[in-house]
Amino acid sequence: MSKPLKKLRRFQMALLFAVIIFILLVLTMLLLLLSIVALRRAGILSLDPTRIPFLLFALLSIIVGTVLAMVFSRIPLAPLREIISAFDRLAAGDFNARINLRGPGELQNLNMSFNHMAEELDSIEMLRSDFVNNFSHEFKTPIVSVRGFAKILKYEALSEAERDEYLDIIISESERLAELATKVLNLSTVENQAIVTDKACFNGSEQLRRVIALLENTWTEKNIEVRFDCEDILFFGNEELLNQVWTNLIDNAVKFSPENTSIDIGIIKRPDAVVVSVSDQGVGISPETSAHIFDKFYQGNISHTAKGNGIGLTIAKRIVELHAGSISVKSKAAGTTFTVELPNAPRAKT
């Protein structure tokens, strides 16, 4: 709605209330005069209305007008009482509260705004509940495993092979727990961060090569071919933070890629931005999963049997947003592609 139209609507509302008040005053005076005339004709009152002192008439008008205003004000105040009641329900945790006000456009806009707010709060509450449940599960599972196998190790009848197997499980679960704690701390750090400092130009292609080399054990174990052949391209941003983005995306691609497949990593240099893509040949992601893929602790596999804890992509998204960039996901039956777009360094003023 344009500003002139908004001003016109406000003027109309003010004029409407002014008219209501004027009508109440007129009705008050007419009612008072008619009451005096009726009482005089009935012989109850012998006073001539034309001789009533002005101050007395004004006082009587105020008293009668106040009473009428109290009676009639319940009608225009009814929407306000409905809104207050709905807010009280929201404050009490009832996110199904909705309002359905009738009247001018402003009240209809209030309907939409309030109901939209209630829907968003309901969604946030659901996400909070899911977050707590998933968070508890992700921490509890490795702790239970470590405790269980540590108790088994106390048995003297175990063979050397069994003992080594159980120790490996304890080590693996401990590393998983440590990784989860590290990612939670990283997520807390980037979520509370408002701006990115220490931005500079650096060789982004070389950074990606180092990340690929760092994760070599994970992708060679599944006989995955990582294809990346790109000339040196400069990125602009915080090198340490962006390193977490590429590590999370590539590690995620390796985890969800079948054996004997390939992962393609590409960089496109545009006049205004640098675009990095990471594509795998996995089973793909459903539209429902894609809609929540960047939510904290969200996992498309609700059984929690898949590797990962649902934090890496959330961290990646937040870091990219801190760099004023964007991250998106596209998926089909035979693979998924994550695309990161980062703005180039601002040009120096001449």
| Residue owning tokens 């159980």 | 166
Q: Of 217, 227, 250, 229, give the one whose Cα is nearest residue 316.
A: 250
pLDDT at 58: 59
Q: Of 129, 54, 163, give the one whose Cα is nearest residue 296.
A: 129
d(CA 152, CA 166): 8
Go through 66-103 and write b for each residue having 16 or more CB atoms within 10 A of its CB, e for each that does not.
eeeeeeeeeeeeebeeebeebeeebeeeebebebebee
**Cβ atoms of 177 and 143 closer than 8 Å:** yes
| Residue owning tokens 């004709």 | 41
Contacts of 206 (CB under 8 A, 6+ apart): 232
pLDDT at 302: 44
d(CA 242, CA 245): 5
pLDDT at 212: 93
Question: Which residues lie across from 50 on neighbouring strands?
Answer: none
pLDDT at 222: 92
The CATH number of the domain where 280 resides is what? 3.30.565.10
d(CA 199, CA 240): 10
CA-based torsion, 146, 250, 234, 231: positive or negative: positive
| Structural domain for 305, as ranges | 200-343
Residue 309 covered by a domain: yes
Q: What is the mean pLDDT of each run of 10 residues along the chain (350 residues)?
A: 60 62 68 71 63 56 61 62 81 82 74 83 69 68 86 86 89 83 74 77 93 90 90 90 92 90 92 92 81 69 47 87 92 87 71
d(CA 139, CA 141): 6
* Claim to verify: residue 162 and residue 183 sit in the same structural domain: yes
What is the pTM assigned to this prediction?
0.56
Exposure of 171 in the CB half-sphere (CA atoms within 13 A): 6
Q: How many domains does the chain have?
A: 3
**Cβ atoms of 239 and 204 closer than 8 Å:** no
pLDDT at 89: 84
pLDDT at 306: 46
Residue 62 covered by a domain: yes
* Claim to verify: residue 183 and residue 244 sit in the same structural domain: no
pLDDT at 68: 59
Residue 86 covered by a domain: yes
* Claim to verify: residue 209 and residue 298 sit in the same structural domain: yes
Residue 307 covered by a domain: yes
Residue 349 covered by a domain: no
Residue 131 covered by a domain: no
* Claim to verify: residue 148 and residue 259 sit in the same structural domain: no
Question: Which residues lie across from 265 on neighbouring strands?
Answer: 278
* Claim to verify: residue 67 and residue 151 sit in the same structural domain: no
Residue 301: both structure tokens together: 């596999």
d(CA 206, CA 214): 12
CA–CA distances in Å: residue 24 to residues 11, 49, 311 = 20, 20, 63
**Cβ atoms of 47 and 40 closer than 8 Å:** yes
pLDDT at 292: 74
Residue 35 covered by a domain: yes
| Residue owning tokens 């400092």 | 197
* Claim to verify: residue 330 and residue 219 sit in the same structural domain: yes
* Claim to verify: residue 280 and residue 231 sit in the same structural domain: yes
pLDDT at 349: 46
pLDDT at 5: 62
For 216-219, which contacts have Cβ atoms below 8 Å and span 24 or more sequence positions? 218/251, 218/254, 218/255, 219/254, 219/257, 219/263
**Cβ atoms of 235 and 320 closer than 8 Å:** no
d(CA 283, CA 333): 6
